[in-house]
Amino acid sequence: MNQTNRTLLLVTAVFTSFIARAEDHNWPTYLGDKASSQYSELTQITPDNVNQLKIDWIFNSGDAAEDNRSQIQCNPLIIDGILYGTTPKIVLFALDATTGEALWRFDPFAGESGAGSLGVNRGLAHWKKGDDQRILFGAGSFLYAVDTDTGKPIETFGTQGRIDLKKGLGRDVDNLSYLANTPGVVYGDLIIMGGRLSEGLPAPPGHIRAYSVITGKLVWRFNTIPHPGEYGYETWPKDAYLRSGGANVWTGMAVDESRGLVYCPTGSASADFYGGDRIGANLFANTLICLDAKTGKRVWHYQFVHHDMWDRDLPAPPNLLEINREGRKIPAVSVTTKSGHIFVFNRVTGEPLFPIEERPYPSSDLVGESAWPTQPLPTKPAPFARQVLSYDLLNDLFPEIRAELQNRFIRLRPHMPFTPPSEQGTIIFPGFDGGGEWGGQATDPSGILYVNSNEMPWILTMVNASKGNTNGERVYLQMCSACHGQDRLGSENQGTLIPPLTLPKLSEKNLNQEGVKEKIQNGAGIMPSFGFLSEKDIEAVIKYLFKDAESGAADRHSGERDAITQYGHTGYNKWTTSNGYPAVKPPWGTLNAIDLNSGEYIWTTTLGEFPELTAKGIPPTGTENYGGPVATAGGVLFIAASLDEHFRAFDMKTGTELFKAKLPAAGYATPATYSVDGKQYVVIACGGGKLGTRSGDAYVAFSLP
C-alpha cells in the first residue's frame, strides 16, 4: 500500500470515528438537561419500530433489601459512553453504558455502622473543566465530589471529599434530620443545593445554598424562612427564623444558563398539617423562587399555597420551555402541583401566562390554627386530576362493599379543595402523592407537556397531643403517631411498612427500654434520629410504651408540655376498599399530554393496570405510579412508574400504548435515553420496594435489535 492510500485510509477511519461519535447523545444532567425537560433529540426509536425493543443488558448491584423495603429512585447520568448511578444502599457506581459492565464503585458509608435514615438517591450532578471531571451526589447529610475516572473522592473538596450540609444554615441543626436525596444543579463553578428535612417539628430551615464545585466552600445562601429585614419576614412570626423549619427544595431545580437564573420550587413549612406556631402566609414555603444563580439574589417569586396545612409541596423541578403566543416566542417556566394543576409563567418577569384566581376557602377549627382565607388556582390548563371526592365518585367496581365506603364517607368531613385538617377526619384528594409527583414531567420543543398522575384518596385525622393522659402519651401523639399510629399498631407510611410498638411486638423483637432509647436517639432504618428530644421527654415516652399504655395508667406529669396545645396526626392513611383498591372510581393513574401554548389537552390515557381486574373484563384502571416520563424527538414517550412492574412506550401524538415489558422489579424512577456509536438505548432503574412491591437491584437497558 502506497503512502497516499495509507493517508486516505487513516483519514477515512478518523472521519468515520468522528461521525459515529458525533451521533452519540449523552444524558448529562438530572432529568436530561438543566431545563428539566426530560426530553431527548434522539430519533432512532420510533412509533413504527418501538415494539421491537429488547433488553440489551442488565446490571445487578446486589444491594436490594431482603425485607423488600429498599428502593432505587435514581435517574442515571450517561456521559461519553459511561453510565453513573446509585444502588439501593446509595453506593455510587460507573458502568460501560453499552454492556452494563461495572467499572468502579464508591460506598460513602463504608466502615460506618448505625447510619440511621439514609433515604434514597434520585440522581447525580456532573461538572467538567479541562481534565477535571466530577460527579457530585448526596448521601445522608453529606455532599460528595467524586473523580469520574477513579471513583475516588476529590480530597480538596470540602473535608476529604465531602461537605456537611447541616452546617451553614444559620443555626445548630446537628441533632435534626437533613438528607441530600435529590441532586443540586451546576451553574458555572457553583453547585446549588436544596435538601430533604423532617416534615414535623423541630426541623431545620430549608435555605438554598451555592457551593464552589472546586473547593466546597459556601458562596451564597438564600433564606427561605426570612431573617429580620429580609423580604417576606412579616409573613411569619417574628422569631420564626430561629425555630421554624421546612420551606426546602427537595425536588431539584432548573437553570436558565443564558440568563443566569435558577428556579427553585419549595415545600411546605414544618409541621405539615398544623401551623398554629407559624401564623401567616409563610413566604417562601410552597413557592417558585427565581434567583440570580451567581449571587442568590431574588429576581421574582410566586407562592402556590399560603400557610400550607396539606403537605402541598411543589413536587418536581419546573420545566423551562418556549410558549408560542400569536407567533411570538415567550421564554416560559411551568410548574406542576400535587393537586394536579399547572401554572405557567414568563420565566424572565414572573408574569402568569394564563390567568390565576385567588379563591376563598374554609377556616380551620383546630385550636390555635388560622387558615389563610384564599388560595390561588389557574384558570388554564384544566387540572390533570379530579379535584373533589364526592359521594358519586366512590368506587363502584365491587357492589358487595359499596356500603362500607358509604358508611365511612358520611362520617368524614365533606370534601372540597383546601378543606382544613380536622380531628373528625379530612379527605386529601387527589392525595398526598399526586396529581404530580417527584418523577417530574416532560416537555418537547413544541410546548407540549407530558405528565403522569395519581388519584388516591387519603384520610388525615389530627390528634390534639395535649389531650394525652401523661407526658409520655403527649410526646408519642405529637412525634410518633404519624408513623406508628395513634393505637401503636403500625402503618404503611407512603408505601413503607412501619412496625407496631405494642408491648408484645416490642418483646418479639427483643427490644427493651435501653434498645428503644438508642433507636430514639440515633435513628434506625428509615426512622430519623429524635436526639433533639430532652432526656425527660425520652424517658416519658419510653414509660408510656412499656408501662402506661399497657396498664391504662393516667398519672399526669408536670412539665412544659402541659401548657402547650400541639397537634399530631394518625398517619398517612390511604383510603382503600377492604379488598385493597382505591376508594375512588378509576382511573387511579393517568398519563396526560397538554399543549401549554393553548392550555388545551391533546390526550389522556390510563397508566398501569391490575391484571386480575382486566381479566374480569374491567378496562385498565391505571395504578399508583412513581417516576416520570421521557419524551423523544422520535415521537415515543417512555415511562415505567406503575405498580404492575412494567416499562411502557406511548405514541406522543395519540397516547396509544405501543410497547410494554415486564421488569425484574417495579421502575419507580425516571428513565434515561442516550446513544453510543449511533445506537440508542433506554435505561430504567428497577428498585421496587414501594406500594407493597418487591425490592430490586437492577438497571435494565433496552435497545433495538
Assess if CATH 1.10.760.10 describes domain 462-570.
yes
Tens of pLDDT, residue by residue over 586-600, are: 999 999 999 999 999
- For residue 311, pLDDT over 90 is answered with yes
Determine the pLDDT at residue 112: 74
User: Are 664 and 698 within 8 A, CB to CB?
Assistant: yes
**Domain definitions of the chain by residue range:** 25-101+439-455+586-705, 462-570
The DSSP symbol for 384 reads S
- Please give the average per-residue pLDDT across 620-640, as a whole number: 98
Q: In this predicted structure, what is the pLDDT of residue 521? A: 72
CA atoms within 13 A of residue 200's CA, in its CB half-sphere: 21
> pLDDT tens digit string along 110-133?
977 544 446 799 999 999 999 999
Look at the chain and count its residues.
705
pLDDT band at 491, cuts 50/70/90? low
* Sign (positive or negative) of CA dihedral 690, 693, 696, 698: negative
Torsion of CA 548, 477, 500, 113, to 10 degrees: -100
Q: What is the mean pLDDT of residues 340-349?
A: 98
User: Listing from the earlier edge strand, what are the strands of the sheet with 636-639?
Assistant: 39-40, 630-632, 636-639, 646-651, 657-662
Amino acid 497: pLDDT:
64
Distance between CA atoms of residues 255 and 264, nearest Å: 9
Q: Which among 623, 660, 618, 662 is positioned nearest to 643, based on CA atoms?
A: 623
Whole-model pTM: value is 0.90
Cα distance between residue 608 and residue 512, in whole Å: 44
pLDDT, mean over the chain: 90
State pLDDT tens for residues 199-249. Answer: 988 999 999 999 999 999 999 999 999 999 999 999 999 999 999 999 999
Strand partners, 336: 342
Identify the architecture of domain 25-101+439-455+586-705 in CATH.
Answer: 8 Propeller (2.140)
pLDDT in tens, 429-476: 999 998 999 999 999 999 999 999 999 999 999 999 877 777 777 777
